[in-house]
Chains A and B, each alone.
Chain A
């Protein structure tokens, strides 16, 4: 017959392991894996399956990306990072093991967003378009125009805008290029 003392003794190693559990903070430091998220431009809002996580640059835990449970309605966000920044296209990225090892450096497409907003919205007044985006160095502007034209061509090639729209926006971009003191 097994006495209570024997049972208590036999449970000893298991209980010893229970007592050895590090607290949550310690566990994060010894067992937690994290992902570093950076973006260009920085200060992009980071959304994970659990909701808003902060702004870049940001470090999140692997379990923030791969939680053991989640609401069914958020299933499409499992393993995803979504970045949002004013004036940029939202960016969805599926996190890989390589990302976790190397860190995530994402570049948001702000130029395309600008072109698309111009094609979708009523054409703004020329003087409004002429206002340079804040914080953008003037030396970058010709490159930005070039990129805008490339994106415009891509939109046309993919049939997302009509040739007439493409011509109209192209004229505006080139007009701005002339008017603006690059």
Chain B
């Protein structure tokens, strides 16, 4: 990026920053008292504060609620009283909405790894950034469901993506074991991305490929130890092929692309004031092939992930969390299928919630490309070293304005081979926007 572009970008950031800061402070001065009534709050006639320390971050009771099949003990009272003990219809259609809109200035671009062609835009109105339709309800003594569909994910129109979508039985055969069947994130066993305060993502989860997948998850608490064990297709959430009797289509589709399943699990407990967990996953993934490794190989390769997570709080207002992942991808690149590629990374963050109006967050992402460094593939892009600082102002309990600044500490690199891979662009950004749920 030339110095002129950098100057122009920072000039855009300056204008956006001044606008964003001014707007938030102006709105802050005129904000009405906080009240919010999203779906669970409506159902149980509870304040949002019962489950959230600062939306969407869950407090201790919110985590307890989520792990209790997303229901309160009096859930039946919220069902239609139809005089049929075998029917517990929700007394209203349980729908909630989450919406986000941002304006962003960032050093970012789309670089074609083959030709090096660049497309850049220093500023962007990402509005809407995301519209989610969520639904959840208890259905029986032990079964609950939850799903949400994203309209316009990251501003994309003309598409709807279903992410979380599952049934959960809280007590399989009276064993005390819970079972979730559906679509979920493997990484939810550690730090659910959906309830983070920063805009910036927990990038190690995305790059390790342990976000959304389809499968089954069993959980059991034994004393102060929580155990989770699950199995997934191992290839994400997209359909892979339609079933046919050669040449003649059948009604069903298969979502897995092979016969193997990914097995994953976590053991968690509290050690003094610190909650710690050990995560592991083992499965297969398609390798990478073609120029710069941009294409998916036909080979199934082994993949293993080991994770360590820890979290706690200091006083009542300051919460911290840390995650580290060790990844081993056997023979991942077709260019050298005998080689084992190892890379590691993680993140750490703090959320400071001094009162009901403000929340401040810092999130540090650090990932090393490991054996992919200088591989002249897009996997060099695993490398990250960034700090995101976020200020959230709550106009209402369920409506917040945020400003986030991201500092990219990773040095800008030049291509090491014929392809345009590696950290060719700095990734600093500033954004301002709104996030609401109702």
Q: Are B316 and A14 in contact (CB under 8 A)?
A: no
CB distance from B407 to the nearest CB of A (A): 6
Contacts of B358 in A (CB 8 A): 17, 21, 27
Cα separation A7 to B53 with both chains bound (whole Å) = 30
Number of interface residues of B (CB under 8 A): 51
Cα separation A68 to B41 with both chains bound (whole Å) = 16
Q: Are A33 and B407 in contact (CB under 8 A)?
A: no
Q: Which of under 10, 10 to 19, 20 to 34, or 35 or more describes the interface residues of A?
A: 35 or more
- Return the contact of B360 from the options A12, A18, A68 (Cβ within 8 A): A18
Contact stretch, chosen from A38-46, A93-101, A170-178: A93-101
Cα separation A86 to B209 with both chains bound (whole Å) = 62
CB distance from A10 to the nearest CB of B (A): 5
A112-142 interface with B by 8 A CB criterion: none
Contact stretch, chosen from B189-197, B320-328, B349-357: B349-357
Query: Quick one: closest B residue to A10, CB to CB?
Result: B405
- Return the contact of B426 from the options A2, A11, A33, A97 (Cβ within 8 A): A2
A100 and B47 in contact, given A20-B25, A20-B28 (Cβ under 8 angstroms)? yes
Cα separation A32 to B35 with both chains bound (whole Å) = 10
Q: Report B297-323 CB contacts with A as 1/0, cut-off 8 Å.
A: 000000000000000010010000000
Cα separation A174 to B405 with both chains bound (whole Å) = 77
Q: Report A1-30 CB contacts with B as 1/0, cut-off 8 Å.
A: 110001101111110111011101001101
Q: Are A16 and B34 in contact (CB under 8 A)?
A: no
Contact stretch, chosen from B94-102, B154-162, B287-295, B387-395: B387-395
Cα separation A75 to B20 with both chains bound (whole Å) = 41
Q: Does A31 contact B (CB under 8 A)?
A: yes
CB distance from A80 to the nearest CB of B (A): 12
CB distance from B315 to the nearest CB of A (A): 10
Cα separation A75 to B50 with both chains bound (whole Å) = 13
Contact stretch, chosen from B9-17, B243-251, B413-421: B9-17
Q: Are A17 and B403 in contact (CB under 8 A)?
A: yes
CB distance from A20 to the nearest CB of B (A): 6
Q: Are A27 and B356 in contact (CB under 8 A)?
A: yes
CB distance from B248 to the nearest CB of A (A): 57
Query: Quick one: closest A residue to B14, CB to CB?
Result: A9
CB distance from B394 to the nearest CB of A (A): 7
Instruction: Give the total number of A-B pairs whose CB atoms are below 8 A apart.
Output: 118
Cα separation A158 to B183 with both chains bound (whole Å) = 49
Query: Quick one: closest B residue to A26, CB to CB?
Result: B355
Q: Are A66 and B17 in contact (CB under 8 A)?
A: no
Q: Are B47 and A17 in contact (CB under 8 A)?
A: no
Contacts of A67 in B (CB 8 A): 59, 316
Cα separation A25 to B33 with both chains bound (whole Å) = 15
Cα separation A21 to B358 with both chains bound (whole Å) = 7
Q: Are A17 and B21 in contact (CB under 8 A)?
A: yes
Q: Report B381-410 CB contacts with A as 1/0, cut-off 8 Å.
A: 000000001110110000000011101100
A27 and B313 in contact, given A10-B428, A17-B403 (Cβ under 8 angstroms)? no
Q: Does B130 contact A (CB under 8 A)?
A: no
Q: Does B8 contact A (CB under 8 A)?
A: no
A2 and B407 in contact, given A13-B17, A14-B389 (Cβ under 8 angstroms)? yes
A14 and B50 in contact, given A21-B358, A97-B45 (Cβ under 8 angstroms)? no
A10 and B17 in contact, given A24-B355, A31-B34, A62-B49 (Cβ under 8 angstroms)? yes
Q: Does A103 contact B (CB under 8 A)?
A: no
Cα separation A16 to B356 with both chains bound (whole Å) = 18
A10 and B13 in contact, given A66-B49, A97-B37, A97-B45 (Cβ under 8 angstroms)? yes
Cα separation A70 to B412 with both chains bound (whole Å) = 46
Q: Does A182 contact B (CB under 8 A)?
A: no
Q: Report B28-50 CB contacts with A as 1/0, cut-off 8 Å.
A: 10010111010001001111011
CB distance from B438 to the nearest CB of A (A): 14
Contacts of B210 in A (CB 8 A): none
Q: Are B20 and A13 in contact (CB under 8 A)?
A: yes
Q: Are B47 and A14 in contact (CB under 8 A)?
A: no
A68 and B59 in contact, given A6-B10, A33-B356 (Cβ under 8 angstroms)? yes
Contacts of A70 in B (CB 8 A): 60-61
Cα separation A68 to B351 with both chains bound (whole Å) = 13
Contacts of A66 in B (CB 8 A): 47, 49-50, 59, 61
Cα separation A43 to B44 with both chains bound (whole Å) = 30
Q: Report B51-66 CB contacts with A as 1/0, cut-off 8 Å.
A: 0010000011100100
Q: Does B70 contact A (CB under 8 A)?
A: no
Q: Does A147 contact B (CB under 8 A)?
A: no
Query: Quick one: closest B residue to A27, CB to CB?
Result: B355
A21 and B45 in contact, given A12-B21, A69-B59 (Cβ under 8 angstroms)? no
Q: List 18 A-B contacts (CB under 8 A).
A: A10-B428, A13-B20, A13-B24, A14-B391, A14-B405, A17-B24, A17-B358, A18-B391, A24-B354, A27-B356, A28-B355, A30-B33, A33-B34, A63-B356, A68-B60, A75-B64, A97-B41, A98-B45
Of all A-B residue pairs in the complex, the 5 with the closest CB atoms, nearest first, are: A27-B355, A13-B21, A31-B356, A17-B391, A31-B357
Q: Which A residues lie at the B interface, using CB under 8 A?
A: 1-2, 6-7, 9-14, 16-18, 20-22, 24, 27-28, 30-33, 62-63, 66-70, 75, 78-79, 96-98, 100
New contact pairs (10) apart from A10-B17, A17-B358, A96-B45, CB-CB < 8 Å? A2-B426, A9-B10, A9-B14, A14-B404, A17-B403, A31-B34, A62-B47, A62-B49, A66-B47, A97-B46
